[in-house]
């Protein structure tokens, strides 16, 4: 089955959310708003039916759990590759597994025919089921009935796709934002953090001092030539 990517972005966004009790409802709707479809998919249903997602204390507890997992990954990345162990994430793996067993993670199935050409083509990693001369693909889409189930779906999908381990923490101290992206040694949440990091680094400071000294000497030489 094709693994859908993109779930990790939702996890990172949730971990970075500055939850404010007084405006949580609008934050929740904004969070659930699909960037693609520009409306809060399922947000109304969840808000009405899932009492836990209206409970800011429970949401914060869930958020801390996600933050802890992402932090663990970020820390383990500082180790050399050969020292990294999946067992470091034992609690995370166990958590996703037991959540799924106790509460269930659900999927709905879509039979995709070649005449649904765009969708059919976009499921390029999916096995083609053939019978006679005809072909179909079976699309598997996660679905959820509570906000917690949604977050665990994100965790499970991001684990399955491997994206979860491409998360990190912004390299600038005091920022603390989680990010997802290409695997560089130093990652930043935005250009401001990159700039701030590069311009406060000790090495850079020293370079500036050296350059200033060089300029000063050049200036002195020039004055000496005039006199
Ligand atoms: Zn940052």
**Domain ranges for the chain:** 1-103+154-182, 106-143, 190-227
CA of 125 to the centre of ligand 1 (A): 34
For residues 64 and 70, is the Cβ–Cβ distance under 8 A? no
Q: How does residue 227 score in pLDDT terms, banded at 50, 70 and 90?
A: low
DSSP state for residue 201 in the 8-state scheme: S
Range scoring the smallest mean pLDDT among 34-43, 68-77, 129-138: 34-43
Q: Is the pLDDT of residue 181 over 60?
A: yes
Burial zone of 214 (CB within 10 Å; 0-12 exposed, 13-18 middle, 19+ buried): exposed
CA of 171 to the centre of ligand 1 (A): 7
Q: How does residue 210 score in pLDDT terms, banded at 50, 70 and 90?
A: confident
User: Of 19, 72, 38, 52, whose CA–CA distance to 150 is shortest?
Assistant: 52
Q: Is the pLDDT of residue 40 over 90?
A: no
Q: Is the pLDDT of residue 22 over 80?
A: yes
pLDDT of residue 146: 93
CA of 82 to the centre of ligand 1 (A): 28
CA of 194 to the centre of ligand 1 (A): 7
Q: Which two tokens stand for residue 149?
A: 């189930």
DSSP state for residue 127 in the 8-state scheme: P
Span 134-158, average pLDDT: 92
Radius of gyration of the chain (CA): 25
CA of 204 to the centre of ligand 1 (A): 19
CA of 191 to the centre of ligand 1 (A): 8
Span 138-160, average pLDDT: 91
Q: How does residue 42 score in pLDDT terms, banded at 50, 70 and 90?
A: confident
CA of 68 to the centre of ligand 1 (A): 18
pLDDT of residue 207: 76
């Amino acid at each position: 089955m094709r693994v859908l990517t993109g779930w990790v972005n939702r996890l990172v966004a949730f971990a970075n959310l500055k939850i404010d009790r007084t405006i949580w409802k609008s934050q929740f709707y904004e969070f659930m708003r699909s960037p693609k479809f520009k409306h809060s998919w399922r947000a109304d249903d969840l808000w009405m039916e899932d009492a836990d997602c209206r409970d800011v204390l429970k949401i914060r507890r869930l958020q801390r759990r996600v933050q802890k997992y992402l932090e663990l990954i970020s820390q383990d990345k500082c180790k050399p590759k050969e020292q990294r162990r999946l067992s470091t994430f034992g609690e995370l793996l166990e958590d996703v597994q037991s959540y799924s067993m106790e509460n269930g993670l659900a999927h709905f199935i879509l039979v995709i025919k070649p005449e649904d050409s765009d969708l059919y083509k976009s499921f390029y990693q999916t096995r083609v089921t053939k019978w006679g001369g005809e072909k179909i693909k079976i699309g598997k889409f996660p679905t959820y009935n509570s906000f917690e189930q949604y977050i665990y779906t994100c965790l499970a999908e991001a684990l399955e796709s491997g994206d979860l381990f491409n998360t990190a923490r912004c390299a600038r101290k005091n920022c603390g934002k989680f990010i997802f992206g290409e695997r560089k040694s130093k990652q930043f949440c935005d250009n401001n953090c990159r700039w701030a990091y590069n311009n406060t680094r000790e090495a850079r400071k020293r370079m500036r001092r050296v350059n200033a000294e060089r300029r000063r000497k050049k200036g002195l030489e020039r004055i000496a030539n005039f006199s």
